[in-house]
Amino acid sequence: MVEVQRTETAGARVIGRVMLYALLILFALYYLMPLFVMLTTSLKTLDDIRGGNLIALPEQVSFDAWIKAWSSACTGVNCGGLSGNFWNSVSFVLPAVAISTLIGALNGYVLTMWRFRGSDVFFTLLLIGCFIPFQVVLLPMAQTLGWLGIANSTTGLIFVHVVYGLAFTTLFFRNFYVSIPEELVKAARIDGAGFFRIFWRIILPLSPPILVVCVIWQFTQIWNDFLFGVVFSSGERQPITVALNNLVNTSTGVKEYNVDMAAAIIAGLPTLFVYVVAGKYFVRGLTAGSVKG
């Protein structure tokens, strides 16, 4: 009796496991499908696209669409492809990431190790700032950038992304530094080290994990941004996301889906690359703010 029941449960177990894996694989296919479709479509010729279907493999692999997307596709009036916009994005994303991360690290350091009356209020103030929809600041910011003379410039975009990234970078570092014992700083103060020396010699050497998380998070956020790009830049200065959107929405001429897809992959490649290389930290960044805070 017991034996029979045991084999039954074992059988049920196997069936259960098979169904479990089937379900998981099905979901995986669903999530991978758009990437697959993008990739295959970008490698097809237009005829191939019209003749085949969504999931068919290319009859013959062609990189023409990629070349066109990179160097000669038209977005609005410009027909120089997305390469210029790609380097635009690089040129403001990197400084914005570096600056916002550095300031965030210093802020987090102060908020945990050098707390003073009002510093908690400050942090709350900053946190609430995370929740405002950016639409509320667009109009004043457009005007302010004009006054500062940095409208439609790389500097302007760096400025905007740093300003609105600080809340998150500060949050990251603060939550990380909270777990470092304050005594470390006290000991260093008694040992004779000052504010910056302690940061540089004691705190920063402990920070690589959170630095990676923060840099990846900021990089993904700023690279993928569309709202600030579309509002605060125009023409040749636009970041790649805006250029991609323009390309896809250009209604003149024949719709070249293969070029659209190649362009989309180009726009997504840097963040995808980061995700593949450092996915663990990416996930940590995503969950850091929410689980802890």
What are the residues facing 75 on neighbouring strands?
Answer: 78
| Nearest approach, Cβ of residue 60 and other proteins (Å) | 18
| Nearest approach, Cβ of residue 3 and other proteins (Å) | 21
**Residues 257 to 276 in contact with other proteins, rule: CB under 8 A:** 257, 260-261, 263-265, 267-268, 271-272, 274-276
**Residue 1 lies near other proteins (rule: CB under 8 A):** no
Question: Max Cα separation, the chain?
Answer: 86
| Nearest approach, Cβ of residue 122 and other proteins (Å) | 6
| Nearest approach, Cβ of residue 83 and other proteins (Å) | 17
| Nearest approach, Cβ of residue 20 and other proteins (Å) | 6
**Residues 99 to 158 in contact with other proteins, rule: CB under 8 A:** 103, 106-107, 109-111, 114, 116, 119, 122, 125-126, 129, 131-141, 143-144
* CB-CB contact of 228 with 163 (8 Å): no
d(CA 250, CA 252): 6
Window 158-187: contact mask with other proteins (x via CB under 8 A): -----xx-xx--x----------x-xx-xx
Counting beta carbons within 10 angstroms of the beta carbon of residue 250, is it exposed (0 to 12), middle (13 to 18) or buried (19 or more)? middle
**Residues 15 to 54 in contact with other proteins, rule: CB under 8 A:** 20-21, 23-24, 27-28, 30-35, 37-38, 41, 49-50, 53-54
**Residue 81 lies near other proteins (rule: CB under 8 A):** no
The residue type found at 112 is: T
Following DSSP, what letter does each residue of 45-93 receive, concatenated?
Answer: -HHHHHHS-TTPPPSS---HHHHHHHHT--BTTB-S-SHHHHHHHHHHH
What is the CB neighbour count within 10 angstroms for residue 137? Answer: 16
Tokens at residue 58, please? 């290319």
**Helices 64-71 and 257-287, packing angle to 10 deg:** 70
Window 185-204: contact mask with other proteins (x via CB under 8 A): -xxxxxxxxxxxx---xx--
Window 227-256: contact mask with other proteins (x via CB under 8 A): x--xx---------xx-xx--xx-------
Tokens at residue 242, please? 């805006």
**Residue 69 lies near other proteins (rule: CB under 8 A):** no
